[in-house]
Structure 1
Amino acid sequence: MGGNKREQIKMTPEEVADFLAASFKVQVATIGPKGEPHLVTMFYALLDGKIAFTTYRKSQKVQNLRRNPTMTCLVEDGVEYGELRGAVLYGTGRIVEDPDVRLRVGAAVGARMAGLPVPEPGRPLDAEFAAGLERSLAKRVVVVMEPDRVVSWDHRKA
């Protein structure tokens, strides 16, 4: 095989972007109150190319991020070793309370979970749908992953 296998299976930035766009579940790690990892799986959408999800304003992960914004995200896929691929994003979790951003991310996550097309940014949502969605998101905030470093792998390249 020759060369460094790690480099051979690394995804390009474009491959990582396509992989994140095609996936919708992310494992999110924050730092708990006693320094322990707090790990949860969330449904996400991309906001300007970055992983974003809604969560309850009073959730443990939001409390953790307010105390220490360090966050790690893992998106992975595959069952057999030769199919495994994934990306780990290291960085910070930015809490966004803007209702327009919350509505945009909530609509995108909901569409992806339902297998529907994601609403285009800037295009208005159906008023009745938007009103119902805003009611369901009222106690939520958006968390956006601001990555400093990305590590990726795609064993299909080996």
Structure 2
Amino acid sequence: MAGNKREKIKMTPEEVGAYLAGNFKVQVATIGKDGEPHLVTMFYALYKGKIAFTTYKASQKVLNLRRNPTMTCLVEDGVEYNELRGVALYGRGIVVEEPGPRSLVGMVVGSRMAGLPVPEMGEPVDPVIAEGIEQALAKRVLIVMEPERITSWDHGKA
């Protein structure tokens, strides 16, 4: 019986893509040096269809990923039980040092964090704003989630 309910509330791959595209906060879990989970919430953008975010090069999550790339991401919403929706992605967090991809994601996330209009990925940003975001990105790296397994639920489908 539980399996039937599980299948009923599972999102299709298209629904998962639309859900991730329509959200911007992700709970990110990495594994600390003693094996404990390290959990933080980050603003993200989709980069080539994958959850991506910038973070300080020296942050705990980067140290953890360099030691062990295992990462889990959770995007969820809803208040009442029949509104609960979410996508959990299990896989690897890839640390990307290249400034190009970091800037693409950084412009989207940085604009959102600053309360400014959020551009589409690759869309031009006001040069003054872009300069400020680039300065902030100088001490950051890009993390891209490479999922190996995805689970999803939408209790509104039940």
**Conserved 8 A contact 2:119-2:125:** no
Partner SS for 2:76: strand
Q: How far is 1:112 from its partner? A: 3.7
Q: Distance in 1 between matches of 2:112 and 2:46?
A: 11
Q: Distance in 2 between matches of 1:101 and 1:120?
A: 10
- Tell me the residue number matched to 1:73: 73
Matches within 5 A, 1:46-57: 46-57=46-57
- Tell me the residue number matched to 1:14: 14
Q: Distance in 1 between matches of 2:3 and 2:69?
A: 37
- Tell me the residue number matched to 1:83: 83
Q: How far is 1:156 from its partner? A: 0.2
Q: Distance in 2 between matches of 1:32 and 1:92?
A: 14
Matches within 5 A, 1:32-43: 32-43=32-43
Q: How far is 1:131 from its partner? A: 1.8
CA 1:115–1:20 in 2, change beyond 3 Å: closer, same or farther?
Answer: farther
Q: Distance in 2 between matches of 1:2 and 1:136?
A: 47
What runs of 5+ residues in structure 2 fail to find an aligned partner? none
**Conserved 8 A contact 2:110-2:133:** no
Q: Distance in 2 between matches of 1:3 and 1:134?
A: 48
CA 1:41–1:8 in 2, change beyond 3 Å: closer, same or farther?
Answer: same
Q: How far is 1:84 from its partner? A: 0.2
**Conserved 8 A contact 2:104-2:121:** no
TM-score, normalised with respect to structure 2: 0.93
Q: How far is 1:3 from its partner? A: 7.4
TM-score, normalised with respect to structure 1: 0.93
Q: Distance in 2 between matches of 1:16 and 1:93?
A: 19
CA 1:139–1:7 in 2, change beyond 3 Å: closer, same or farther?
Answer: same
Per-residue CA deviation, residues 37-66 of structure 1 (Å, 9 max, x unaligned), is 000000101101100000000000000000
Partner SS for 1:58: coil
What runs of 5+ residues in structure 1 fail to find an aligned partner? none
Matched, 1:5 2:27: no
Moved beyond 6 Å, runs of 4+: none
Q: How far is 1:126 from its partner? A: 3.5
**Conserved 8 A contact 1:119-1:125:** no
What is the number of residues matched between the two proteins? Answer: 157
Partner SS for 1:4: helix
Partner SS for 1:156: helix
